[in-house]
Amino acid sequence: MGRPLTGIFLDTGNREVIARYHAMGLIRGVTTNPTILVKEGVTSGWDGIEKRCKEIARLIAPLPLSVEVTTNDSKGMLQQAKRLSGWAKNINVKIPIHGPGGELENLRIVHLLEKEENIRINVTAMMSAQQCLLAAMAGATYVSIFGGRVNNMGYDSRREVRLLRDLLDAFESPAKIIVGSTREVLNIVEWFEAGADIVTAVPNLLEGMIVHPYSKETVRQFLEDGARLQR
């Protein structure tokens, strides 16, 4: 048998949308961040973010919810990670691979949180297999490569995902590969085929996977023919 896939993580903070796709059994987790939550109408600062994240975590439990820190200060990341993970057992914390100026402290924080605080970390903002490999070595539960941005830079993200899959398998790493920054429906199946464990998708891409114009035409024909049979 081949390697089992995890599935699609829905990238949103909208409770109603999450409930809709969760009820269909289509998602295997949710990712969000303060920017997404504010766009979804969350107010009252961290109190509002905490309330919404707890609601989402309860809704999808035991599936994971990834929530991102909002600082690159070492002490601040540690404090926020502990606070976020304390909201629910199924919350894991997103931390970028390094700081905005290339500061190297983040992986030390990742290692500390995973190994000493028993907090599951999703390392994000990565653009290469080599970055993801080092994040996995640091102990990250999830390593997130931003496939859409890799493609935008003129590189084939599928090659990076395949390379990363081979490297993690060779090292027998338990880290899960997440591919995000998804731009097209096609990206989702391509990245799974390339070796991703998880692909993140915004709601309209998930809808795009389901709805096909020829399916709509076929269903209309079925219903029209069925109506004629009942006359």
- Residue 7 · residue 198 · CB < 8 Å: yes
Identify the active-site residue in 39, 94, 115, 176.
94
Is residue 94 flagged as an active site residue?
yes
DSSP line for 107-155: HHHHHHHHHTS---EEEEEE-SHHHHHHHHHTT-SEEEEEHHHHHHTTS
CA-to-CA distance for 222 and 217, rounded, in angstroms? 9
CA-to-CA distance for 27 and 143, rounded, in angstroms? 19
The residue behind tokens 């809808």 is 207
- Residue 28 · residue 11 · CB < 8 Å: no
The residues, ordered by sequence, that sit 6+ positions from 142 with a Cβ below 8 Å of its Cβ are 66, 92, 120, 121, 122, 123, 175, 176, 177, 178, 198
Interhelix angle 203-210/185-194, nearest 10 degrees: 90
Catalytic residues: 94
